[in-house]
Chains A and B, each alone.
Chain A
Amino acid sequence: MTENCLVRFSGVSYTYPEAAAPAIADIDLKIASGEWIAVLGCNGSGKSTLAKHLNALLIPTQGDCFVNEFNTRGEDGKRSARRAVSMVFQNPENQIIAAVVEEDVAFGPENLGLSPEEIRARVSWALDVSGLGKMARKPVYALSGGQKQRLAVAGAIAQKPPCLVMDEATTMLDPRGRQDLMEVLSTLHSGGMTLVSITHRLEEILRCDRCIVLSGGRISWNGTPRELFLLGEELAMWGLEVPGMVKVWRELVQKGLLEAKIPPLMGEMVEALCR
């Protein structure tokens, strides 16, 4: 287990300078290599603070955070964390730096000092995975909001990090843009990348392996998405909105018409009901 453990939090608390209370407190968490984990909670629950520890943007004020077993307090640890974990934030405009799509994606690999062939190979891989293969030569301003966010993802993965953190990365997208981005994440997950999705939208966690719920800076719950969906009052208490489809699924499970092992997805549910 320790071998493929990518990130390990041990009693991590973080208090912002001059803040009265910690933003996160006593966090113990392990993220295995290749896992897709969702971090859920309402605004102010500490999700983004937790995420910023993953690539050493923040260092715990108490406890320790290890990435690849390096403590992020040390210089080696910081370097290891920044190489291992790439982040994509809410607003793609803030993370795009070049004027042309492929140049933007090349920025990360160029900084790693790779050969021109390797850079070209990575850029074309990252653009293909992100569904922007045909847009390599397009100016960035010609992209839609959803395409810009996928460009931000392409830029982040072109460095081939073992782990990608999406911090509320779908917030500014329309429903179609959100679905497209979820497809990109699924592809990356099947390719073995570790994914951390920070969100308050339950419909985005259907394909995750595991989720944790933060509330008041602490981990209140830890389990699989399906276990989470079966909870009742707690979800509202944590400020999580339950999608209509999941509500129907829950009622059908409770009425004994569906087995809880059937996921709350349309295809699977229709098939199970027709049996």
Chain B
Amino acid sequence: MSIDVKGLVHVYHPGTPLETKALDGVSFKAEKGSWVAVVGHTGSGKSTLAQHLNGLLLPTEGSVSVDGIEVRQGEGSLRKVRQKVGLVFQYPEQQLFEETVFKEVSFGPRNWGIPADTLKDRVEEALGLVGIGSDLYEANPFRLSGGQKRRVAIASVLSSGPDYLVLDEPTAGLDSPGRRQLLDLLSNLKALGRGIIHITHDMELALGLADMILVLDEGRSSLWGRPDIILGELIERDVRGLVIPDMVRFAGRLRDLGFEVPLTWEPPVLAEAIYRSQGR
């Protein structure tokens, strides 16, 4: 079970003076129960790619398929795909609109025609996953803290029961405790077998959490692979707009100077290696 993207090309406004190629031959695979980070500079095509994963945009060339269902017009494909793939936009709390947390989270499944008796279970399950207790079910979502609002917004996507979750900068603007809670939630969803597709600028997060990283550069897949495997090349290539964590660049510089240290994003590992390397 996976989302398969093959040779995806997307052209905005084809045949007009505004014609722009936003994606140019992107291929990757996001499996259920795994975490894929999509990184790249502003304008690299990350958000365009996200909108292909649940059929908000359709390929100009190439293909996207979800658990074997090709994303295209006709035969109910889009409906099936949208039930499988939940999309969480940037600052999703800006889309909250209901009077209570419970109503907000019921909106999606109700629209999918989920019967009233299972609806309640769905909503409670989704709110449980994001750590919002029953004491807040009747609260006005606009009165919650920033971190809570974001989690309610994510619950309102989860309540439709997607197998894959595509999130665009889900930690943007959260403080450290809010960020920690959200990342724990995503790790938990992954452990429960959901596929996580995490779109971000933050290389430190991507390196530390993702099973696979897709690097986009001007609409092309510039690199694709396991974090530890692509890291060396990532530093060498100096992909435009991607900020390699200071610590990793520091490790790289020390290696150039003859220190025997690994390229790592784990502080204790690096500190220990420097210690051993200095001891010699």
Contact = CB atoms under 8 A, between A and B. Distances in A.
Contact of A266 (B172, B173, B253, B274): B253
Given A174-B241, A244-B245, A43 B147 contact: yes
B113 interface: no
Contact of B241 (A42, A176, A243, A247): A176
A43 B175 contact: yes
Interface residues of A, number: 32
A179 interface: yes
B118 interface: no
A40 to B, nearest CB: 10
B11 to A, nearest CB: 22
Binding site of B, secondary structure by majority: helix, strand, loop or mixed? helix
Contacts of B254: 270, 273
Interface stretch (B47-55, B62-70, B226-234, B262-270): B262-270
Contacts of B179: 241
A143 interface: no
A241 B176 contact: yes
Given A42-B176, A241-B179, A255 B243 contact: no
Nearest to A203: B246
Contacts of B178: 43
A245 B176 contact: no
B145 interface: yes
**Interface extent on B, as a size class?**
35 or more
Contacts of A252: 271, 274-275
Contacts of A269: 250
Interface in A127-145: 144-145
Nearest to B179: A241
Q: Which one of A244, A252, A274 has the highest number of Cβ atoms from chain B below 10 Å of its Cβ? A: A244
A240 interface: yes
Q: Which 7 residue pairs spanning A and B have beta carbons closest together? A: A251-B271, A247-B267, A244-B247, A175-B243, A241-B176, A245-B246, A42-B175
Interface of A: 42-44, 90, 144-145, 171-172, 174-176, 179, 200, 203, 236, 239-241, 243-245, 247-248, 251-252, 255, 257, 266, 269-270, 273-274
Given A200-B176, A241-B176, A266-B246, 11 more contacts: A42-B176, A42-B177, A43-B146, A244-B246, A244-B265, A244-B267, A245-B250, A247-B271, A248-B270, A269-B250, A273-B259
